[in-house]
Amino acid sequence: MPIRLHNSLTRSLQELQPRTPGKVTMYHCGPTVYSSPHIGNFRSFLFADVLRRFVEDQGYQVTQVMNVTDVGHLTQDDIEGGEDKMEAASRKTGRTAWDIAKQYEAEFHDCQRQLLVRLPHHMPRATEFIPQMGAIIDDLLQKGVAYQKNGNVYFEVARFPDYGKLSGKVLDELESGARVAVNDEKKDPRDFALWKTDDKHQMQWDAPFRGGQRGFPGWHIECSAMSMHYLGPQIDVHTGGEDNMFPHHECEIAQTEAHTGKPFVGIWMHARHLLVDGTKMSKSLGNFFTVADILGKGYSGLELRYALIKVQYRQALNFTLKGLDEARAAIGRVQQCRQRLVRVRDGLERGGAEDLAAAVVAASEGFTAAMSEDLNVSEALAAVFDFVAVVNRAAVSVAGAKAGLAVFARVEDVLGCFGGEPKADVTGEAPAELVALLAERKAAKARKDFAAADAIRDRVAAAGWRIVDAAGGARLERG
Ligand SMILES: [Zn+2]
């Protein structure tokens, strides 16, 4: 089945047709490592992860690159304040920009692990690609599409008629604001920096291009340099958050295409902003959560992952703590269903005669169809839960259990939000006092003290577990 993805450039669904048959190249704009990653960042990163997993599931060999922005990410405030995010964090903490970058990069990798992200094949740091950025800047200067003023190098937007083709924007407030605040050296307010000079900046390099001055790169140029280094001048898919579309991706297109003379990206994909409690996340509203904040509240990486991927990446997703509780319940439903199939498969529970053949086909096809249509995770999950309902009602045979587990294993491979194959009997994972209660209940039943046995059952339930009586003896299960 063809995979159709929404291309922000053509504003339409487009079939994924990689430049090299069977192989897909993907570039994702990665984190700026000046503070702890928040859950909004991870909506976008998890969408990239699910995209990669599904494309692999469909038989492609994927090469995935995600950069780490450890220098040069300028925002409007940064430009007006003459300071980038790394430098601002350094000023506030008294530590060097290099130290800060190192710390938050490590934290980012930790979050990736907690959220079960399949690690990209390459995660280059911008600070290690200064020569490659220099080579592009040098070429753009030679071609006359970039110019130098007081050591700063700007891309001349007027020399690239396609500027604006991704975002549809012609003139941005940010750029015109920047002109007023900082300089009149740009020929056109739309022109953007490729290289900047600033004595106060901690991260500095000798100019990696001819005739330049010591300084540091702009943000946009790093993604062009790193994607080209690993993936060549043309890539199949480029993703980011919707806030990356302008100016960042617009500028990436301009400088890369002016440099190579070829279309840069086959399909541009952008994840929508995450809303928290119905509004944009902000520290002043008290609805700003880092990944660590959520894990600190006792939720697992799996539950957070589920809550952040459950809605298709282009749809509005409103994150709430209640949503995390729902995620926990949803994961529990799937885990319990799988657990029963494991028991039937392993002969720990008597099976029936149903082989689930029709349900397996319906679930597999429904899942593939939903994911193939622009990664519709909500629809794909609906197919999974329909399957759970059928399995729960069925007297499943051993063959049916195996087939059902294969469906869940594939879903897990793509979405990664339900955890690995459960154990047939999780009694041993329960808190010791609950295991002791199980023995007490057995004794109570033996002396026919059913009131005591029922009271124990209630205590176990209050702790979030349940007692299941089976042929081989009673056991504990979650929920
Ligand atoms: Zn980027």
Q: What is the CATH number of the domain that holds 133?
A: 3.40.50.620
Which of 209, 239, 271 corresponds to the end of one domain? Answer: 271
444 and 403 assigned to the same domain: no
Q: Are residues 347 and 450 in the same domain?
A: no
Task: Report yes or no on whether pTM surpasses 0.95.
Answer: no
Mapped onto helix, strand or coil, the DSSP state of residue 453 is helix
- For 443-460, what is the mean pLDDT? 91
Residue at which a domain ends, from 241, 271, 301 = 271
- Kindly state the average pLDDT of the residues 416-424: 90
Average pLDDT on 401-414 reads 98
What percentage of residues in the chain have a pLDDT greater than 90?
74
**Cα-to-centroid distance, 384 and ligand 1 (Å):** 34
363/444 same-domain check: no
Which tens digit of pLDDT belongs to each residue from 311-327? Answer: 999 999 999 999 999 99
Band of pLDDT at residue 332, cut at 50, 70 and 90 = very high
Residue 37 in tokens: 């990653």
Predicted local distance difference test score (pLDDT) of residue 269: 98
- Whether 180 has a pLDDT exceeding 50, the answer reads no
Give the end of a domain, one of 271, 301, 319. 271
CB 203 within 8 A of CB 98: yes
How many whole angstroms from 394 Cα to the centroid of ligand 1?
A: 49
Per-residue model confidence (pLDDT) at position 73: 56
> How many alpha carbons lie under 13 Å from residue 359 in its C-beta half-sphere?
24
Q: How far is the centre of ligand 1, averaged over its atoms, from the C-alpha of 415 (Å)?
A: 25
Supply the pLDDT for residue 171.
58
Residues 31 and 170 in one domain: yes
Average pLDDT over the chain, rounded to an integer: 91
CA of 469 to the centre of ligand 1 (A): 56
The mean-pLDDT minimum among 5-9, 146-150, 164-168, 474-478 falls in 474-478
199-213, 363-377, 418-432 — which one is most confidently predicted on average? Answer: 363-377
Sequence-ordered strand ranges (E) for 359-455 = none
| 15-52 pLDDT tens trace | 999 999 999 999 999 998 988 999 999 999 999 999 99
Band (378; pLDDT cuts 50, 70, 90) = very high
Q: Does residue 281 form part of some domain?
A: no
Mark the residues whose beta carbon lies below 5 A from ion ligand 1.
29, 223
Q: 110 C-alpha vs ligand 1 centroid, how far in Å?
A: 21
How far does the centroid of ligand 1 lie from the alpha carbon of residue 249, in Å?
7
Question: How many angstroms separate the alpha carbon of residue 463 from the centre of ligand 1?
Answer: 47
- How many domains, the chain? 3
Among the listed ranges 46-55, 164-173, 435-444, which one has the minimum average pLDDT value?
164-173
Distance 432 CA to ligand 1 centre (A): 50
CA–centroid distance, 240 to ligand 1, in Å, is 7
Q: Ligand 1 centre and the CA of 176: distance in Å?
A: 22
Same domain, yes or no: 341 and 258: no
Task: Please give the distance, rounded to the nearest whole angstrom, from the Cα atom of residue 31 to the centre of ligand 1.
Answer: 9
Look at residue 81 in the predicted model and tell me its pLDDT.
Answer: 52
The CA 21 to ligand 1 mean position distance, Å, reads 25
Q: Ligand 1 centroid vs 242 CA: distance in angstroms?
A: 12
Co-location of 344 and 207 in the same domain: no
Q: For 70, which DSSP code?
A: -
Distance 69 CA to ligand 1 centre (A): 8
Indicate if 263 and 378 belong to the same structural domain.
Answer: no
Residue 471: per-residue pLDDT:
67
Does position 284 have pLDDT exceeding 50, yes or no?
Answer: yes
| Ligand 1 geometric centre to CA of 36 (Å) | 19
CA dist 141 to 151, 254, 255, 466, Å? 13, 14, 11, 70
Identify the band that residue 98 occupies on the pLDDT scale cut at 50, 70 and 90.
Answer: confident
Ligand 1 geometric centre to CA of 270 (Å): 12
CA of 28 to the centre of ligand 1 (A): 7
Residue 420 lies in a domain: no
| CA–CA gap between residue 87 and residue 79 (Å, rounded) | 12
Q: Which residue, 208, 263, 273, is CA-closest to 234? A: 263
- Rg (the chain; Cα; Å): 27
**9 and 135 fall within a common domain:** yes
Residue 342 lies in a domain: yes
The pLDDT, as a whole number, for residue 124 is 97
Place 170 in a pLDDT band, splitting at 50, 70 and 90.
low
CA distance 237 to 18: 9
Distance in Å, CA 231 to ligand 1 centroid: 14
Domain match, 298 and 241 both: no
- Would 286 be classed as within a structural domain? no
- In contact, 126 and 217? CB cutoff 8 Å: yes
Note whether 157 and 40 are same-domain residues. yes
Residue predicted with more confidence, 173 or 203: 203
Instruction: Compute the distance from residue 20 Cα to the ligand 1 centre, in Å.
Output: 23
Q: 262-265 — which CB contacts under 8 Å span 24+ positions? A: 262/233, 262/234, 263/234, 264/233, 264/234, 264/235, 264/238, 265/9, 265/27, 265/234, 265/235, 265/236, 265/237, 265/238
| Separation of CA 257 and ligand 1 centre (Å) | 15
What's the pLDDT score for residue 18? 98
Bridge partners (DSSP) listed for residue 373: 4
Instruction: Give 113's pLDDT tier (boundaries 50, 70, 90).
Output: very high
80 and 46 in one domain? yes
71 has a pLDDT exceeding 90: no
* Residues 266 and 307 occupy one common structural domain: no
Q: Is the pLDDT of residue 308 over 80?
A: yes
Distance 461 CA to ligand 1 centre (A): 49
* CA 26–ligand 1 middle distance (angstroms): 12
Full domain range(s) for residue 434:
427-478
Report if residue 174 sits inside a domain.
yes
Distance CA 60, CA 53 (A): 10
Q: Is the pLDDT of residue 479 over 80?
A: no
User: Does any domain span residue 170?
Assistant: yes
Lowest mean pLDDT among 77-86, 179-188, 386-395, 459-468: 77-86
Is residue 362 in a domain?
yes
CA of 138 to the centre of ligand 1 (A): 20
Distance in Å, CA 268 to ligand 1 centroid: 12
Report if residue 387 sits inside a domain: yes
